[in-house]
Amino acid sequence: MLEQRRAETIERIGRLADEIASLVAASADSNADDEHDPEGSTIAFERAQAQAFLDEARATVVDLDAALIRLADGDYGRCTSCGATISAARLAARPAARTCIDCATGRR
């Protein structure tokens, strides 16, 4: 599951990087003043949004890599804060989760 999620995220990073490159090229090739276009979002906004998604995807890969290390060390599924077992439901929803739900929500 972790390897598959990582591979999917790496693919997403590639698509987002391509999208950003296209947006940069579109803004360089255009003399249009898209900042005042009432019909839609600006190229700058789209580029910023794509960059935010790219940053999030890169952070996800870092988290997944850390989870893979915990898996190799035999610590995957154990809360890094309190040592309790992280529930299967939480790991299914967030495979790279480092903490149990109680620690994540501040109940411990």
pLDDT digits (tens, 9 = 90+) for 26-51: 777 665 555 555 665 688 888 999 99
The rounded percent of the chain whose pLDDT value lies above 90 is 73
Residue with more model confidence, 44 or 13: 13
Q: Clarify whether residues 53 and 6 are in a common domain.
A: yes
Residue 22 pLDDT > 80, yes or no?
Answer: yes
Question: Under 8 Å CB-to-CB from 84, ≥6 apart: which residues?
Answer: 78, 100, 102, 103
Domain span at 100:
77-108
Q: Clarify whether residues 37 and 89 are in a common domain.
A: no
Q: Clarify whether residues 26 and 42 are in a common domain.
A: yes
Distance of CA 96 to the CA centre of its chain: 11
Q: Clarify whether residues 43 and 84 are in a common domain.
A: no
Q: Clarify whether residues 10 and 63 are in a common domain.
A: yes
Question: Under 8 Å CB-to-CB from 13, ≥6 apart: which residues?
Answer: 54, 57, 58, 61
Q: Clarify whether residues 29 and 15 are in a common domain.
A: yes
Residue 2's closest CA among 52, 73, 104, 76?
76
Residue with more model confidence, 104 or 26: 104
pLDDT band of residue 65 (cuts 50, 70, 90) is very high
Q: Clarify whether residues 97 and 71 are in a common domain.
A: no
Q: Clarify whether residues 54 and 97 are in a common domain.
A: no
Task: Report yes or no: 54 and 14 within 8 Å, Cβ to Cβ.
Answer: no
pLDDT of residue 36: 58
